[in-house]
Amino acid sequence: MDAENWTSRLQRALPVSSRALLLVNRHARQGQKSLVEAIDSLKQLGFDLIEESTEDPKHLSEVILRHQHEVDLVIIGGGDGTLNAAVDALVQTQLPLGILPLGTANDLARTLGIPNSLNEACKIIAYGEMRRIDVGLVNDKYFFNVASLGLSVKITQRLTKEVKRRWGIFAYAATALQVIWESRPFSAEIRINNKSYRVKTVQIAVGNGRYYGGGMTVAPDATIDDRRLDLYSLEIEHWWQIIPLLPAMRQGRHIHWQSVRDLQGEEIEISTRKPRPINTDGEITTYTPAHFRVIPKAVTVLIPPIQTF
């Protein structure tokens, strides 16, 4: 939408809700310095805010549950890990979600077309459209973007808060290059659409949204409301074979490579010889054996007017 139409839409629109729970991860890359700016912008837009923050994002769900009957909307400021910590409570309470992209990657915001500009993000929360989106579920943990095992788990373990704060989005690429040479294939069984695949792989990723890992694309036609999960498995023999794949992964073209297995379905099961950690939206939350499902239209989000995913 061009600037003139966007401004006109804002002038005609009315705020979707005035009572909002504002949750900001102060440890997010832009969290502390942006908190005051966000509060001022939202109050000017007419919101009556209950402001909460926590040193540990894992407590966000209980904060949402505690305030669920006092507000009409939850506004979360942080990155994908912060949003992942809150998704279970958002599914349970069915409160709409407004996003302030204050993290390093902001992949869910990118998928939804929400800009990194704090001022514009606040306007979208006030005047945007409500849209129902899918979420993924692995074992008993919901996720927005992607759940994965293998190489991405090692990246998550190395990607410290200090590294993300210092290097921003470049931290993902730098950390990936550090761990790629250590990668070794592991055996797994993938069961999907009544078929079974035994693979040797360095990474299996199951995507619900479009973007993950700082802007990489799950699949070229993936959307966050398509009622399906997109799986890819990197079945390479030597660490250096992943290097030429990295540019293709930005556009989702990796699925066309011979060394990449590409599958889609509504339910997926993955088992490994020994339990392996699974990363959901950048946080290690569960282990194999894993049962993945897509939950259609599970969460309501505020997006830019006339936005298509």
Report the distance separating Cα 32 and Cα 17, nearest Å. Answer: 25
- The DSSP bridge partners found for residue 157 are none
The answer to whether 156 and 283 are in contact (CB under 8 A) is: yes
Q: Are strands 277-280 and 267-272 parallel, antiparallel or unpaired?
A: unpaired
In order of 79, 142, 161, the CA distances from 151 in angstroms are: 21, 21, 19
Backbone angles phi, psi at 273, to 5 degrees: -60, -40
Q: Position of tokens 């040193």?
A: 55
Give 287's Cβ-side CA count (13 Å radius).
Answer: 6
* Rounded mean pLDDT, 217-223: 89
| Structure confidence by residue, pLDDT tens digits, 139-190 | 999 999 999 999 878 776 666 566 556 655 555 666 666 666 677 899 999 9
Q: Is the pTM of this model over 0.95?
A: no
Domains of the chain: 3-134+299-303 (3.40.50.10330), 141-295 (2.60.200.40)
The answer to whether 86 and 76 are in contact (CB under 8 A) is: yes
pLDDT, residue 228, reads 97
The answer to whether 136 and 83 are in contact (CB under 8 A) is: no
3-state secondary structure of 63: helix
- The percent of residues in the chain predicted with pLDDT above 90, rounded, is 58
